[in-house]
């Protein structure tokens, strides 16, 4: 088609246009970089060093694919998870750092005023995925909206060595925490103790909350403001820990990091740990014969039923990020079914989806040792339950109050004094007077 109405610029218009362009180019050259519209965008994401390293490989692979499709770069930085709270606190304090990060537990409440609201992304992704598990959703829903989007959760079953249990004459692994205590005493005498961390690591939280809830104990009352530690139920939990520590475990549990229980079961000495499937996956990956002996069972229960506190990992976007919309697009991309399925496979069933339609992946049925893992969702609560997740809950975990209470008791502090100490610390957490460690 021939153009017939194009206007020819006047000489004055031509000079004005070229003068402006020349000035702009001069500024560009002086700065030594391309103008903003010509620069390639870079999205930065801070996550943890995954316990199944192939997951980080898959995340970076998907980040690269997203970058190519959207003319940007996605940089995924990872670090030890126990270092993340202080790193995140530093970014919050300086209002600078990554665009988005992997949040944990009640982080969205601790940084509620510094994270963008993600209601639009949550609605879009949630609707496509058939809705969220409530325990995952509650970890992100603050009074001012969704301050993060649930990413994945990690089932926290019992992991045990079948050969040791068989040698001890047990027909099945423990169904209750009291049964674990009884079996553990026999197993320790056999030379195969059980192990639960009583130390500054996140696994210590996951187990304490599970044991306490199963016994009917709580940390906070349902109002979320009143400490609920000092009670007969908590005293029973502490006495159980003391008995287990003395008669069924080794003192090393006081210094374990989150890999301590993995090393313990993989050494061949340990008979039982409360832990995700990462040791089994490591044994498979390294072709260790002990993989044949390791198996899993649902988290034990108690007089108040079976309750579990699985790690809930989410994704939050800082308000100071200049790439908020790009970050949202990347999150939507990660939740595309083919991408999330690949994420599950890369973890070899470690990463559980928070969306119900993604939870029926065949990987859990394919291996009988994984078959019971999805059922853990039925027992799950966010940390703090029966209280809602809150800033105080995150401060309680970040300061290892529950682990320290138990550690003091097993080292000789009277149970009542240990509970009183914890009650005081929790009161400070509720007032926002405990710093993030």
Q: Could you give the CA distance from residue 361 to residue 31 in angstroms, rounded to a whole number?
A: 52
Give start and end residues of each alpha helix (H) in 323-390.
Answer: 324-334, 337-346, 363-366
Per-10-residue mean pLDDT of the chain, 437 residues long, equals: 38 41 42 52 96 94 97 96 92 97 92 97 92 94 96 96 98 98 98 98 95 97 96 98 98 95 97 96 95 97 97 96 97 96 95 90 93 93 95 93 98 98 97 81
Is the bond preceding residue 278 a cis peptide, omega within 30 degrees? no
| Displacement of CA 395 from its chain's centroid (Å) | 15
Q: Decide: 422 and 237 in contact? Cβ < 8 Å.
A: no
Residue 437 pLDDT: 60
What secondary structure does DSSP assign to 13-59, as a single string? HHHHHHHHHHHHHHHHHHHTS--GGGSPEEEEEEEE--SSHHHHHHH
Residue 8 pLDDT: 38
Taking only Cα atoms into account, the Rg of the chain, rounded to an integer number of angstroms, comes to 26
Bridge partner list, 194:
272
Q: Could you give the CA distance from residue 401 to residue 200 in angstroms, rounded to a whole number?
A: 9
Residue 129 pLDDT: 87
List, for residues 61-102, the tens digit of each pLDDT value: 999 999 999 999 999 999 998 899 999 999 999 999 999 999
List, for residues 309-361, the tens digit of each pLDDT value: 999 999 999 999 999 999 999 999 999 999 999 999 999 999 999 998 888 89
- Token pair of 120 as six digits: 């639009």
Neighbours of 378 (CB within 10 A): 11
């Amino acid at each position: 088609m021939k153009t017939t109405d194009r206007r020819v610029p006047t000489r004055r218009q031509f000079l004005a246009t070229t003068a402006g362009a020349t000035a702009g180019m001069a500024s560009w050259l002086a700065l030594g970089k391309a103008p903003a519209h010509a620069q390639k965008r870079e999205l930065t994401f801070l996550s943890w060093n995954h316990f199944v390293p192939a997951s980080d490989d898959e995340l970076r692979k998907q980040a690269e694919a997203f970058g190519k499709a959207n003319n940007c770069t996605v940089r995924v930085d990872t670090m030890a998870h126990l270092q993340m709270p202080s790193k995140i606190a530093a970014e919050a304090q300086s209002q600078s750092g990554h665009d988005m990060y992997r949040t944990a537990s009640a982080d969205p409440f601790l940084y509620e005023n510094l994270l963008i609201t993600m209601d639009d992304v949550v609605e879009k992704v949630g609707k496509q995925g058939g809705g969220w598990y409530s325990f995952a959703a509650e970890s992100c829903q603050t009074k001012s909206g969704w301050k993060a989007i649930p990413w994945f959760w990690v089932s926290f079953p019992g992991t045990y060595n079948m050969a040791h249990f068989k040698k001890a004459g047990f027909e099945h692994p423990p169904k209750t925490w009291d049964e674990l205590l009884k079996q553990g005493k026999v197993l320790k005498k056999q030379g195969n103790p059980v192990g639960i961390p009583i130390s500054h690591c996140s696994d210590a939280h996951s187990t304490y909350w599970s044991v306490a809830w199963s016994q009917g104990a709580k940390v906070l009352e349902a109002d979320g403001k009143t400490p609920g530690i000092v009670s007969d139920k908590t005293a029973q939990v502490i006495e159980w820990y003391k008995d287990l520590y003395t008669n069924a475990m080794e003192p090393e549990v006081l210094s374990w990091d989150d890999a301590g229980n993995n090393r313990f079961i993989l050494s061949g000495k340990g008979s039982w740990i409360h832990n995700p499937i990462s040791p089994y996956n490591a044994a498979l990956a390294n072709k260790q014969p002990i993989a044949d002996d390791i198996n899993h069972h649902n988290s034990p229960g108690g007089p108040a039923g079976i309750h579990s506190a699985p790690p809930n990992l989410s994704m939050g976007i800082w308000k100071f990020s200049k790439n908020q919309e790009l970050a949202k697009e990347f999150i939507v991309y990660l939740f595309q079914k083919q991408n999330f399925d690949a994420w599950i496979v890369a973890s070899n069933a470690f990463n559980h989806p928070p969306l119900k339609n993604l939870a029926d992946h065949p990987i859990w049925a394919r291996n009988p040792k994984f078959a019971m893992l999805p059922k853990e969702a039925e027992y799950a609560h966010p940390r703090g339950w029966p209280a809602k997740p809150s800033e105080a809950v995150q401060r309680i975990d970040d300061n290892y109050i529950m682990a320290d209470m138990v550690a003091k008791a097993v080292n000789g502090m009277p149970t009542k004094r240990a509970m009183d100490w914890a009650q005081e610390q929790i009161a400070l957490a509720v007032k926002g007077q405990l710093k993030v460690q």
